[in-house]
């Protein structure tokens, strides 16, 4: 019988340089999607998959993440007295989880961040959720990986097809064949290949279900040229002794990892948000009309020159 998955690691120790100067003092994981920090979506995905124990790997300047997941009795009492039920619900969503924190003292890459949490995990299979993407599907992606693990007993990570020009931002798989629809047997896992060297367009998208044997491999994995211990490299080694499958995610992925995609995600979620949807919709329409008029005027100007 395969062991049940009850624990997850969420690495949140990265410097977030893509969002400087905002990330000088505030962690990028606390950047909001409308009114909710991105890391809250990640923790909720783990919760929806039935995970109760979560360890968040943090680093310098990340204290507000700890505060965010701490209960706040004074604020709760205040909202209770004022019968602000919806607000109360929004701050209590993860109160029933056990959330722990550990510090990665020197940022030495994703593989090292995962290795930092080894004693919390022990000898059990576990999930890893990276913070840059919000995933949406009928069944949460982490649960999809857990279901697959229950069937195969093998480590499995999530992949999605991405445009070829973007492939070098990701870990990429070299699939041999599908063992069943959407589940790939993999020959090789490669971290951030050049587009011309990429073995496929199936990118690793930041959700993993791993067996604990990964820890002894991470211990031996050498840092890359940039001084980072890559999780993808360790997974490739694991695949040589235990099978590691790739599960193709067919749901929606909202990228929050760079300025433009984060803004777009905010617009999409804003258009669904009951408080602001109507106002935002009419603003976008008005802005669209203004921008079209501006473009037309510019075109006319160019022609007349």
Residues that bind ligand G1P (CB under 6 A): 110, 130, 132, 170-171, 191, 203-206, 230-232
Q: In whole angstroms, what is the distance from residue 109 CA to residue 186 CA?
A: 23
Phi and psi for 5 in degrees, rounded to 5? Answer: -95, 120
* Smallest distance, ligand G1P to C-beta of residue 171, A: 2
State which residue, 42 or 205, has the beta carbon closest to ligand G1P.
205
Location of structure tokens 């949140």:
12
Q: In whole angstroms, what is the distance from residue 161 CA to residue 299 CA?
A: 37
Q: In whole angstroms, what is the distance from residue 141 CA to residue 251 CA?
A: 8
What separation in angstroms does the CA of 125 have from each of 109, 168, 173, 218, 263? 21, 29, 21, 15, 35
Task: Extract the tokens encoding 29.
Answer: 């994981």
CB atoms closer than 10 angstroms to residue 87? 14
State which residue, 140 or 171, has the beta carbon closest to ligand G1P.
171
Please list, residue by residue across 47-86, b when 16 or more beta carbons sit within 10 angstroms of its beta carbon and e when fewer do. Answer: bebebeebbbbbbeebeebeebbeeeeeeeeebeeeeeee
State which residue, 150 or 174, has the beta carbon closest to ligand G1P.
174
State which residue, 79 or 234, has the beta carbon closest to ligand G1P.
234
* Smallest distance, ligand G1P to C-beta of residue 135, A: 11
Nearest to 58 by CA among 2, 123, 5, 131: 131
Beta bridge partners of 56: 10, 101
By beta-carbon distance, which residue lies closest to ligand G1P? Answer: 171
* Smallest distance, ligand G1P to C-beta of residue 269, A: 19
* Smallest distance, ligand G1P to C-beta of residue 64, A: 21
Asked if residues 206 and 142 have their Cβ atoms less than 8 Å apart, the reply is: no
- Compute the chain's Rg from CA coordinates: 21
* Smallest distance, ligand G1P to C-beta of residue 259, A: 15
CA atoms within 13 A on the CB side of 89: 4
State which residue, 54 or 190, has the beta carbon closest to ligand G1P.
190
CB atoms closer than 10 angstroms to residue 157? 24
* Smallest distance, ligand G1P to C-beta of residue 78, A: 38
- Per 3-state DSSP, the chain is made up of helix, strand and coil in percentages (nearest 5) of 45, 25, 30
Location of structure tokens 């991105």:
38
* Smallest distance, ligand G1P to C-beta of residue 222, A: 15
State which residue, 112 or 191, has the beta carbon closest to ligand G1P.
191
State which residue, 79 or 202, has the beta carbon closest to ligand G1P.
202
State which residue, 99 or 130, has the beta carbon closest to ligand G1P.
130
* Smallest distance, ligand G1P to C-beta of residue 235, A: 9
């Amino acid at each position: 019988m395969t062991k049940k998955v009850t624990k997850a690691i969420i690495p949140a120790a990265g410097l977030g340089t893509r969002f400087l100067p905002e990330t000088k003092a505030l962690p990028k994981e606390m950047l909001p999607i409308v009114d909710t920090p991105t890391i809250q979506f990640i923790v909720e995905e783990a919760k929806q998959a039935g995970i109760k124990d979560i360890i968040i790997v943090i680093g310098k300047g990340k204290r507000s993440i700890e505060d965010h997941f701490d209960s706040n009795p004074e604020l709760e009492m205040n909202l209770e007295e004022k019968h602000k039920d919806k607000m109360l619900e929004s701050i209590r969503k993860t109160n029933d989880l056990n959330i722990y924190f550990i510090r990665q003292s020197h940022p030495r890459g994703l593989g090292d961040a995962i290795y930092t949490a080894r004693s919390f995990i022990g000898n059990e299979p576990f999930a890893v959720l990276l913070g840059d993407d919000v995933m949406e599907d009928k069944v949460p992606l982490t649960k999809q990986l857990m279901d697959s693990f229950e069937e195969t007993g093998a480590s499995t990570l999530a992949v999605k097809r991405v445009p070829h020009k973007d492939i070098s931002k990701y870990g990429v798989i070299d699939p041999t064949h599908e063992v069943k629809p959407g589940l790939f047997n993999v020959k090789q896992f490669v971290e951030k290949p050049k587009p011309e060297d990429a073995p496929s367009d199936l990118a690793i998208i930041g959700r993993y279900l791993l067996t604990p044997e990964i820890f002894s491999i991470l211990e031996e994995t050498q840092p890359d040229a940039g001084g980072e211990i890559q999780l993808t490299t360790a997974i490739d080694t694991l695949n040589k002794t235990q099978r590691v499958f790739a599960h193709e995610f067919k749901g929606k992925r909202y990228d929050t990892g760079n300025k433009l995609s984060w803004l777009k995600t905010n617009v999409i979620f804003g258009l669904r948000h009951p408080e602001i949807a109507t106002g935002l919709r009419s603003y976008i329409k008005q802005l669209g009309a203004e921008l079209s008029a501006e473009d037309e005027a510019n075109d006319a100007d160019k022609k007349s020159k």
